Amino acid sequence: MKIRSGFVSNSSSSSFLIYGAEIDKSDIIEMAKKMGAIEKMNQDDIEWDKENSEKRGYTRYDPEKEREDYEIIEWLEENFDLEIHNPSYYDCCYVGSSWSNVGDDETGREFKARVKKSFEEAGLDCELSTLAEAWRDG
Amino acid sequence: MKIRNGFVSNSSSSSFCIYGVHISEEKLASIVKNIPKDVLEKTDCWQEFFNYDGDADIEKTIEVFADNCDIDDLFGSIKGISIEFSPYGYYIGRSYMTLDDTETGKDFKDSVENILRPFGFEKFGKFEEAFNDNF
């Protein structure tokens, strides 16, 4: 049997195949802030403190704390059924949902509509398409 | 909102997202040698080979075919099926990019399994991988 030679060498690589859009990271952060992401994250921390700070011995809420971009992106992912890829040293994000998330009873068209709805709920108004990308992490 | 049209600068990488099987070279070689004749006869690659050497002993022809066939030709000739190779073996299946608007996720998975099971493949799943091409 002929086996192909010239293998690609493995490395720490990341990839995705999503239905979504490529958006400037600064636009996403700005949109999240307009939606009250910071206030909601603070509220989440206050509630966490009520339940956990005594037994854990520390608090999360800090009114002076500056939120990092990655925290805001994680908050968006957790609250709007979206995945957001932000390659290192790259100032844009790939936002959407992996094609492998298509449900067994869901058609391709229904999947696209579901992703579009998640975008609208997150305040993101843009044209969506299938995006595939891979990059080295290290 | 500004939509970016660029791409990641260090992206000399291969990637894929398929539903199918992940299989070692050794296991794949074993499967190819044992593909039922009626299944092989439905593939374009086999048709070409068989027609070229049509008078040969069938068992011997299958053996020679298995020893000489090109994996890409064999599985790449099956409509909708793609084959990806990596340092960890082969990934054979269907890219999620080909899932169409009227097809459900289950239809998509069934289409892959219906094609590949007769060859002797099992343990189907989703595979998403990336490999650097530059080394």
> Does the ipTM exceed 0.85?
no
Distance CA B92, CA A76 (A): 34
Return the biggest CA–CA distance within chain A.
Answer: 66
Is residue A3 in some structural domain?
no
Which of B66, B105, B129 has the CB atom closest to A104's CB atom? Answer: B105
> Which of the two residues, B135 and A57, has the higher pLDDT score?
A57
Q: Is residue A122 part of a domain?
A: yes
pLDDT tens for residues B51-84?
A: 655 555 666 666 676 677 677 767 766 778 888 8
CB nearest to A27's CB, from B1, B8, B14: B1
Report pLDDT for A21. 94
Q: What percent of chain A has pLDDT over 90?
A: 50
Closest by CA to B73, choosing from B110, B98, B47, B91, is B47
pLDDT of residue B56: 59
Residue A14, pLDDT > 90, answer no
Give B124's pLDDT tier (boundaries 50, 70, 90). Answer: very high
Verify whether the Cβ–Cβ distance A8 to B131 is below 8 Å: yes
Give the pLDDT of residue B99. Answer: 92
Per-residue pLDDT, A137: 63
* Interacting residues of A89 by C-beta distance below 8 A, sequence separation 6+: B9
Q: What does B56-92 look like in DSSP terms, one character per residue?
A: S-HHHHHHHHHHH-BHHHHHHTSTT-EEEEETTEEEE
**Predicted pLDDT at B58:** 63
- The mean predicted confidence, pLDDT, of chain A is 85
Asked if residue B11 has pLDDT above 80, the reply is no
Q: What is the pLDDT of residue A128?
A: 95
Q: A59 to chain B nearest CA, in Å?
A: 37
Residue range(s) defining the domain that contains residue A90: 13-35+68-136
Residue A88 inside a domain? The answer is yes
When scoring A29, A128, A135, A137 by the number of chain B Cβ atoms within 10 A, the one with the most, hence best to mutate, is A135
Residue A2's pLDDT band (boundaries 50, 70, 90)? very low
Please report the DSSP string for A79-134 in residue order: HHT-EEE--TT-SEEEEEEEGGG--TT-BHHHHHHHHHHHHHHTT-----EEEEEE
What pLDDT sits at residue B53?
55
- The reply to whether B32 touches chain A by the CB within 8 Å rule is yes
Report d(CA A73, CA B88) in Å as an integer: 33
Is the Cβ pair B101, A109 closer than 8 Å?
Answer: yes
The answer as to whether A87 is a domain residue is: yes
Average pLDDT, chain B: 75
Q: pLDDT higher for A96 or B63?
A: A96
The answer to whether residue A108 sits within a structural domain is yes
Name which of A62-71, A124-133, B34-43, B96-105 the model is least confident about: B34-43
CB contact under 8 A, A108 and B100: yes
- Say whether residue B24 is in contact with chain A using an 8 A CB cutoff: no
Instruction: Say yes or no to pLDDT of A88 above 80.
Output: no
Across the interface, of B71, B88, B132, the residue whose CB is closest to A11 is B132
Segments of chain B assigned E as strands = 13-23, 82-86, 89-95, 125-132
Q: Work out how many domains chain A is built from and give that number.
A: 1
CA distance readout (Å), B76 to A79, B63, B86, B91, B129: 41, 20, 16, 12, 19
Q: Is B130 within 8 Å of A16 (Cβ atoms)?
A: no
Can you tell me the distance from the alpha carbon of B9 to that of A90, in angstroms, rounded to the nearest whole number? 8
Are the C-beta atoms of residues A22 and A133 closer than 8 Å to each other? no
pLDDT given at position B135: 43
Name the band, by pLDDT with cuts 50, 70 and 90, for residue A38: very high
Residue tagged 């080909």 (tokens): B98
Residue A127 lies in a domain: yes
Question: Is A79 inside a domain boundary?
Answer: yes
Nearest-by-Cβ selection for A9 from B96, B102, B135: B135
Locate the chain B residue with the closest alpha carbon to A88: B8
CA gap A20, B50 in Å, rounded: 46
